Amino acid sequence: MKKFTQFIAGAICPSCSEQDSIAIHKDDDEIFCAKCGYKEFRPGSKKDSKKEAIIKAINVVDIKDFNKIKK
């Protein structure tokens, strides 16, 4: 069975620091870097939906919250 892969725009690899090289396998929530081969498995908890788990995995911040932090 072929895995569905989606690249995460703007994500930076924690291993090689390349931007736009991080992708996620939607089927099993495996995050990987297409440049250096870094892999990480980040399953969501039962309380979290799959979308929320992905957002937490890539540290997406609401712009309103970002502006509060920035000040």
pTM for this entry: 0.55
CA 20-7-43 angle, to 5 degrees, is 115
Residue 62: what pLDDT?
61
Q: Side-chain half-sphere of 40: how many Cα atoms within 13 Å?
A: 14
Our measurement of the distance from residue 17's CA atom to the centroid of its chain's CA atoms, rounded to an integer in Å, reads 14
> Is the per-residue pLDDT at 19 higher than 60?
yes
Query: pLDDT band at 66, cuts 50/70/90?
Result: low
CA 34-37-42 angle, to 5 degrees, is 90
**Of the candidates 39, 40, 57, which has an alpha carbon nearest to the alpha carbon of residue 49?**
57
Percent of the chain with pLDDT over 70: 58
Look-up of token digits 């924690």: 14
For the chain, the domains span: 5-70
pLDDT in tens, 33-52: 999 999 988 765 444 566 66
CATH class given for the domain over 5-70? mainly beta
Residue 47: what pLDDT?
47
